[in-house]
Amino acid sequence: MIFIYIFSFFLKLTIFLFFFYFFFLGPYRLDKGHVVHQVSQASKDSVPKEVKEAARQLARQALQKRLEEINMSSNDYTEYFSYVNSLKTEIQKLKVVLEGAQAKVINYQKRNFKKNFKKNFKKKLKKN
């Protein structure tokens, strides 16, 4: 029974770290000025069905290849994403909390810099 709790804890930790990386440290954060390219719906609709089906098939093959690389079966994959979906609200709440904490730290650093700058500036004026 304890094994189930330990496994559950590490699974949740892994999922948390994955989402933490994706939302806070990931390479494609939209708030960091990355260029976002959007395709119009008319362009999407103009793609032939054969091309869409070929793209889906390639995506399935790539997913299967990636799952084999990380030694994960398709059942493990579906179970993993069931856990991910069940934790979405907690992840969002944690994101809000971390953003608030980050804002407080930045505000504290700015205030501290201003205070120290004024103090050091006054010392330099007294010396001259």
Question: Could you write out the three-class secondary structure of the chain?
Answer: CHHHHHHHHHHHHHHHHHHHHHHHHCCCCHHHCCCCCCCCHHHHHCCCHHHHHHHHHHHHHHHHHHHHHCCCCHHHHHHHHHHHHHCHHHHHHHHHHHHHHHHHHHHHHHHHHHHHHHHHHHHHHHHC
Task: Decide if 111 is inside a domain.
Answer: yes
Say if 113 falls within a structural domain.
yes
* pLDDT at 61 (0 to 100): 92
Domains held by the chain: number: 1
Whether residue 13 is contained in a domain is answered as no
Give the residue numbers spanning the domain of 94. 90-120
Residue 114 resides in a domain: yes
| The pLDDT value given to residue 38 | 77
Cβ atoms of residues 31 and 103 within 8 Å: no
Residue 101 lies in a domain: yes
Whether 12 maps to a domain, the answer reads no
pLDDT of residue 57: 93
The residue to which tokens 């971390």 are assigned:
98
Contacts of 83 (CB under 8 A, 6+ apart): 11, 12, 15
Q: How far is CA 70 from CA 9, 66, 67, in A?
A: 20, 6, 5
* Consecutive 10-residue averages of pLDDT for the chain (128 residues): 67 69 58 70 89 91 89 87 86 87 83 74 67
